[in-house]
Chains A and B, each alone.
Chain A
Amino acid sequence: SQKIEQNSEALNIQEGKTATLTCNYTNYSPAYLQWYRQDPGRGPVFLLLIRENEKEKRKERLKVTFDTTLKQSLFHITASQPADSATYLCALDDSNYQLIWGAGTKLIIKP
């Protein structure tokens, strides 16, 4: 069965540095992968989508890479700010065009 793994431990980053989160998957070749931000007690908010034929996608301070050989996506936040502190979720499409979700990585940006 398809499986997604994100670091379960919180990631602590100093303000101004680049935060890098990892999403690994097995047993599948998704057509696309999505990243979301979730704040405590709130619903996830869509950030970026990257397709299998795209190596990299950027949006303001965000950058996502997609390596289908390694079966891995990296999510970068440059010039990180305390307001970037949240849990970040990755999701990939399955064979039925539904999303399979990782458990998320909690990011803490320290001033």
Chain B
Amino acid sequence: DGGITQSPKYLFRKEGQNVTLSCEQNLNHDAMYWYRQDPGQGLRLIYYSQIVNDFQKGDIAEGYSVSREKKESFPLTVTSAQKNPTAFYLCASTEQGAGGYTFGSGTRLTVV
């Protein structure tokens, strides 16, 4: 079955540590997205990529970095510069102009 796989499901980060969240899709979608979800708020866009080797900052990119070396993969690194990283992180993909987004099952990141 086609879909998006996010790993790990739960991740704990120590102060000053960088962590990388994995996102892999086998839907052959061009566009991929990273969102952050906090209680009581709508999804907020961190980064997005519409094509391999190209990506753009979203509304809250500070403290995060991404790469898009392969069409299938769009990993997100949460750096130590992100002061409040505890949140639920969602990866999504879509075929440009085709409508709805397909989401992964999310990674819950907690600072310890």
Contacts and interface: CB of A to CB of B under 8 A. Distances in A.
The residue in A4, A34, A42 that gathers the most chain B C-beta atoms within 10 A of its C-beta is A42
B100 A43 contact: no
Contacts of A103: 40-42
Interface string A19-54: 000000000000000101000011111110100000
A99 B35 CA distance: 11
| Interface range for B | 20 to 34
B40 A46 contact: no
Contacts of A46: 99-102
Contacts of A42: 105-106
Interface of A: 4, 8, 34, 36, 41-47, 49, 89, 91, 98-104
10 contacts: A34-B99, A34-B101, A43-B4, A43-B103, A45-B103, A49-B100, A98-B45, A99-B43, A99-B101, A103-B41
